Amino acid sequence: MEKQRIILSENIEQELTTTIGMCEHDRIFLLVDTTTEQLCTPLLKHIEALRNIPHIIIGATDTHKTLDTLAQVWTALGQGGATRHSLLINLGGGMVTDLGGFAASTFKRGINYVNIPTTLLSMVDASVGGKTGINFNGLKNEIGVFNSAHTVILDTEFLRTLDHENICSGYAEMLKHGLISNRENWAELVNFDLDHVDYKHLQDMVATSVAIKEQVVTEDPLEKGIRKALNLGHTVGHAFESLALQQNRPVLHGYAVAWGLVCELYLSAIKTGFPHDALYQTVQFIRENYGRFDIDCKQYPTIIELMTHDKKNTAGIINFTLLGDIGDIRINQTATHQEIEEALDFFREG
């Protein structure tokens, strides 16, 4: 998998024009959802290279990250005369960049694509690392491929279009990156005021967070080893997210990850010696900013069953990424059902 260009942009017109010039293309298509079409495309209207190009508009939110929506994008590309030399620009959050990347990777066996993430979550997580895909059969990101965008352009001006909940959602992935890096990064993150966002400071933190992920992905592009560090919080978090979808009460991905971090840091404390001061400081930050996901003990079997479908598992054994300390990553860890239930108890009551 080729390494993608990642640009922290100060001038999106210049960066995108240069990028388009670097990509062989006969036609350009812009993929957006209904939200980014309204809020974000106006920020690009002055860019000459994008004048009069077709917009493919899909439904917003993760409920549209489906095979039907993927087919809609393929159909629009085909009807618009796209060839294997065309270029797809994905403008949106993680749902758009994941699904758009998958559409581009499979249309005519693969066309070039560029990601312009517009949410904090997609900037620090979904648009970096070459993972593409859709949800399928009630499971998160069940179908997809590894295939990097030609370029990812990060422009934090788009963050000003976000509501508080979407800032918090993306910030959960940044908190995860801090936990797998070092105490300095982690401390900066748990002391940041999410109720009064300093966007200039946040831009610098985004650059740090992306660099952490990029380093991990470069070492292990196909998730055979250390890239599993990026799954911290996700084994439980994806189960929470899938349960919420099943119950028709969808939650933002970052909120599910934050709640998953509470459970998996508890497992880290009891199994791999994660320090209690860092556990409680992180959990307090999550409680204050993300609240709680309402579950009861009768749902534990369902949550554990959902964990068994996680892509990191081997032979049905639930696989966790845990920490011995901040930055001390322990991949390929397991836990008994009793230990998982204890972690869920801690999540509900701690």
Question: Residue 113: enclosing H or E segment and its boundaries?
Answer: strand 112-117
Q: What is the pLDDT of residue 239?
A: 96
Spatial separation of the C-alpha atoms in residues 192 and 202, rounded to whole Å: 9
DSSP state letters, 175-232: HHHHHTT-HHHHHHHHT--TTS--HHHHHHHHHHHHHHHHHHHHH-TTSSSGGGGGGT
Query: What residues form DSSP beta bridges with 56?
Result: 31
Rounded to 5 degrees, φ, ψ at 191 are -110, 5
Which residues are within 8 A (CB) of 261 and not within 5 positions of it... i.e. 6 or more apart?
A: 172, 175, 176, 179, 232, 233, 237, 282, 286
Q: What is the pLDDT of residue 24?
A: 86
pLDDT band for position 236 (cuts 50, 70, 90): very high
Most confident of 105-109, 225-229, 305-309, 312-316: 105-109
Mean pLDDT score, 41-65: 94
Q: What is the pLDDT of residue 128?
A: 77
Spatial separation of the C-alpha atoms in residues 197 and 156, rounded to whole Å: 13
pLDDT band for position 2 (cuts 50, 70, 90): low
Provide the mean pLDDT of the chain. Answer: 94
Spatial separation of the C-alpha atoms in residues 2 and 146, rounded to whole Å: 10
Q: pTM for this structure?
A: 0.86
Q: What is the pLDDT of residues 253-306, one digit of tens each?
A: 999 999 999 999 999 999 999 999 999 999 999 999 999 999 999 999 999 999
- Map tokens 């085909």 to a residue: 78
Judged by average pLDDT, the poorest of 30-39, 58-67, 106-115, 304-313 is: 304-313
Mean pLDDT score, 216-245: 92
Rounded to 5 degrees, φ, ψ at 244 are -60, -40
Judged by average pLDDT, the poorest of 42-46, 223-227, 235-239, 260-264 is: 223-227
Q: What is the pLDDT of residues 197-215, one digit of tens each?
A: 999 899 899 999 999 998 9
Q: What is the pLDDT of residue 115?
A: 96
DSSP state letters, 139-191: EEEEE--B---SEEEE-GGGGGG--HHHHHHHHHHHHHHHHTT-HHHHHHHHT
Query: What is the 8-class DSSP label of residue 126?
Result: I
Spatial contact of 239 and 312, defined as CB atoms under 8 Å apart = no
Could you give the domains of the chain? 5-161 (3.40.50.1970), 165-349 (1.20.1090.10)
Q: What is the pLDDT of residue 205?
A: 95
AA letter at 271: K
- Looking at the predicted structure, is the pLDDT value of residue 1 above 70? no
User: How many secondary structure helices (H) and strands (E) does the chain include?
Assistant: 13, 10
Q: What is the pLDDT of residue 138?
A: 85
Mean pLDDT score, 223-239: 93
